Every structure is written in structure tokens, then in C-alpha cells.
Structure 1
């Protein structure tokens, strides 16, 4: 048994390391290509590391377009959406789980059915509503149009269901209002799930391209994805300079990497708790 374990465990680690490298290789290639020349990027056979690190690619790419504005727009809009979605989803999930009202189950069914709709089906009515409200080409349009997420509601709903109902009922008997139970008891007990859903939402909104491109035409409101395409692909000015394209792509994902570094502890805790509940 020990001999088999000594063979299987290293093999297991080798397989996991191989799959991890395969998943990380596009990012490694992007970062190393940011310091290459165009000839090195297109060289055959491919070369992973450049002969000389061309740091000027980073500087040239940063000054070629207002990427500081694009990163600010993406971070600002994403943070606002995460905060609004968190509050909305927490209140909605608490009402569905710990409050009794006649239309509770039909409302939950409507939410689940709406999650099955393709996002593209809401673009036209959403655009018309924002246009009538005068929110096209505004930060408010970008934020309000994403202020409610069925996915976030469902995830928080599942998290709240794991809290014993007796705990909430005991708080109600002691005279605690629903607002206090939600913010001082239920949310702290499910904090890792909020971190995970918030991180997922932030990444989704930060990388969002199609919908922001439809409702924003002012370059000062471009998010990172639209800015990258506008200045490096669509405009054609740097379309052939792939080293600067890779450089711009590398420093625009930096906020996501920083966010993951600080939130990975909560992510692992949330995943482990979810796994334990599903296993049980």
C-alpha cells in the first residue's frame, strides 16, 4: 500500500502541474511577448524568452493610449456594480429564504427562468430603456444596467440556505428586526461566498466588452477591453506591433492579479465550504 502511494502521489502531482502549466501558458506567453521584438514573436520554432528584455515596449504601449483612464473606468464601474449587486442580492436572497410571503416561490421560479435567457436577448430592450432615461454614454448607464444579477442572487440564495433556520428564528424571537439579522448575523456567517461572488462579478465586469461597447461611444468612457480594441486592433496604428499589444494586455490585467492575490484566502475558504456542504 505504501509503495503504491509513493508512486501514485508523485504522479498525481506531475499531472496537476502539467495541467496547471497548460492553463497558465497563454498568460506566460503574453507576458514574455511584451518584452520581445515582432520577429521573436513570429519566430519559428517559437521562442519563449527574448534575447533581450525590451522594457520600452511597456512605456510605449502605456503612452500610446490613455490606458490609465481605461483602467480607472473599468475598476470604478466594476467596484460600483459589485457593491450594488451585493446589497441587492443579499436582500433578495434573505427574503426568499428567511421570510414568508405569498409570491415567494413564484418569484424564485421567475428568477431561475430568467437566468436561462441569453444575455443578448436583453440588449435591445435594455438599450431602449437607457436611451429613454438619458443614460447612454454615461457612467450611470454602465452601472445601473448591471446592478442586478440573477447569478449573484442564486449564489447568495444557496449560501443563505446553509444557515440553520433555528438560528434566524431565535433572533426573531429575541426581537431582532430583519435588517439587523441580515447585516449582523447572516452576512458575516456567509462572508466567503460574498467574496467569491464579488470576485467573479468584478472579473466579468472588468472584462466586459460587448454591452459597454453598445451603450458608450465616447472614448473617455471606454473600458479596458474596448480601449484595447480601439487603439490596437480597429485603428490599425499598432495592429502590426504585437509586442506593444501584448504589453498593453499585460498591464491591463494587473488589477485582476492584485485582486486575486488579496482575495485567494477567502476564495479557497468559500470553495472548501461549498465542497464540504455538497459532499455532505
Structure 2
């Protein structure tokens, strides 16, 4: 690519990146404003006197730390279980021959197209019968297995040459040994990609925690932030405090992505490879 072409490409990417970051920038700047500045109709990207006390106010009661802790337990648990369950299921679908394998894969794919609201009432009644409402079990276990997770991991395992697996079987390796010694290292980028996707989705999930939780002991940050906005009506909302709380809530996701971005990019590229 010529110098002019590279310059054009990077210029366009820089502009798009800036436009995509405007909401995040606006949130951070609003968190440093006074209430009067936040309520002003004039949008300003400059804060003359940053109000760092807004963040102290967010942490003053200590409740946000409880909600963040609940959310991290919920999101990390679902992400880890999702990767494990998807890994086992996709290994069976890819490397173990059994009757009905293709039908089972079709069923998993079909569930990806089912609206979540269709399974809401059966899921709720099942959790109620198990006494799992308003518990971590009720939050985590129903979210840990989805057709999307299995299909994504299945696509990653399909890139592994079957001759490699057959050679390991000839050498006497068991399925568990093949799974953890051969398959897992080769699909680490796919596992990281799936883990990040699931963690991010569940961390921001509002609907499911709203349905199955009621107490502060398991309440997630998304529910807490929505309640913060609803307090005192539209004209009584302390927008700087709300935006400070939002800024604090996005930090774990940003840190996770920065730590695992290389694996995530490798996983996305890995999914695009052909057999």
C-alpha cells in the first residue's frame, strides 16, 4: 500500500475511533461537572473546575462496591462455566461420532434464534421450584449454557486437524487427555474470545438479573445504576454522580479487554480461517 493510501486509511480509522469514543468522553467529563453545569443546555467538552468529590460521593456509602462485587462474581462465573461447557460440548460434536450428533448441533443453532422472552416464564418457574430465585445459582447456571457459546467454540475446534486427534488416540490418549493437552492449547484464542464476549454481555446484562433478583446481596451494578437514575424524578437526578458511578462501573470491562486484547484479536482471526 502506498504512503497516501496508508495515510488515508489511518486518518479514517482515527476519525471513526474519535466518533465512537465521544459518548465515553462525554460520560467522564460529565462526572467531573457540577450539577448546574450538567443541567445546562449548552454541551461543553471542557471542565474548568473538575469535581473529584463526585467520585468520593459514589464510594461514600460503600454500596457500589457491593454491587460491583456481585456483578464480578456473576459475570466471571458465567464466563468460566460457559467456556468449560462449550469446550466439552463442542469437543464431543467435533471429534466423537455418535448417533444424532448433527441433529444435536442443529438444535443448538436453532436455540440461537429463539427470543429470550419465550423461555422467560419456564425459566422463572423452574428456578422458583428449585428455590433458586434471588441467589447466585439462579443468576449463573441458566446463563452458562447457550447455543451461541457452543457454536462459536465448535467453529474454533473445527480448525484442528482431525489427523492430529486420531494420532493421539492411536498413542492411547484418552478423550480428557486429548482435550486438555492438545485441544485446549490450540483453541486458547477462541476460549479467550468467548470468555470476553460472555463476560461483557453478562456484566452489562439488565433483564435477567431484574427478573430473578430482589435483594441487595445479589443485585448487579446494572440494576443499581438504573435505580440511581430513577431517584427523585427527571429534574432531581444528580447527573454528575450518575456519570461518576457509570465511569467506575465500566473500568473492570476496560481493564479486562486491555489485558486480553491480543488473545481476543487472535480468536477473531482464528474464527475467520477456513478448513
TM-score, length-normalised on structure 1?
0.93
Q: Could you tell me which runs of 5 or more consecutive residues in structure 2 were left unpaired when the two chains were aligned.
A: none
Q: Which runs of 4+ in 1 moved over 3 A?
A: 42-45
Matched, 1:81 2:81: no
Counterparts of 1:90-129 in structure 2, within 5 Å, are 90-129=87-126
User: Match of 1:262?
Assistant: 259
User: Match of 1:72?
Assistant: 69
SS of the residue corresponding to residue 119 of structure 2 reads helix
Distance (Å, rounded) in 2 between the aligned partners of 1:127 and 1:90: 27
SS of the residue corresponding to residue 205 of structure 1 reads helix
Counterparts of 1:54-69 in structure 2, within 5 Å, are 54-64=51-61, 66-69=63-66
CA gap 1:235/1:41 in 2 versus in 1, 3 angstroms: closer
Counterparts of 1:156-235 in structure 2, within 5 Å, are 156-230=153-227, 232-235=228-231
Distance (Å, rounded) in 1 between the aligned partners of 2:12 and 2:34: 33
1:142-187 Cα offsets, whole Å, 9 max, x none, are 1112121211111100000000000001101111111110111001
Counterparts of 1:127-138 in structure 2, within 5 Å, are 127-138=124-135
User: Match of 1:29?
Assistant: 26
User: Match of 1:19?
Assistant: 16
- The answer to whether the 8 Å contact 2:67/2:216 transfers is no
Counterparts of 1:233-272 in structure 2, within 5 Å, are 233-236=229-232, 239-272=236-269
Range with greater deviation from structure 2 (75-84 or 41-50) = 41-50
SS of the residue corresponding to residue 132 of structure 2 reads coil
- The answer to whether the 8 Å contact 1:34/1:57 transfers is yes
- Displacement of 1:237 in angstroms is 7.8
- Displacement of 1:119 in angstroms is 1.1
Distance (Å, rounded) in 2 between the aligned partners of 1:21 and 1:29: 12
Distance (Å, rounded) in 2 between the aligned partners of 1:267 and 1:95: 24
- The answer to whether the 8 Å contact 1:35/1:50 transfers is yes
Distance (Å, rounded) in 2 between the aligned partners of 1:102 and 1:108: 12
Q: Could you tell me which runs of 5 or more consecutive residues in structure 1 were left unpaired when the two chains were aligned.
A: none
- The answer to whether the 8 Å contact 2:68/2:221 transfers is yes
- The answer to whether the 8 Å contact 2:83/2:195 transfers is yes
- How many residues in Structure 1 have an aligned counterpart in Structure 2? 274
Note the aligned Cα RMSD (angstroms): 1.6
TM-score, length-normalised on structure 2?
0.95
- Displacement of 1:80 in angstroms is 1.1
SS of the residue corresponding to residue 144 of structure 2 reads coil
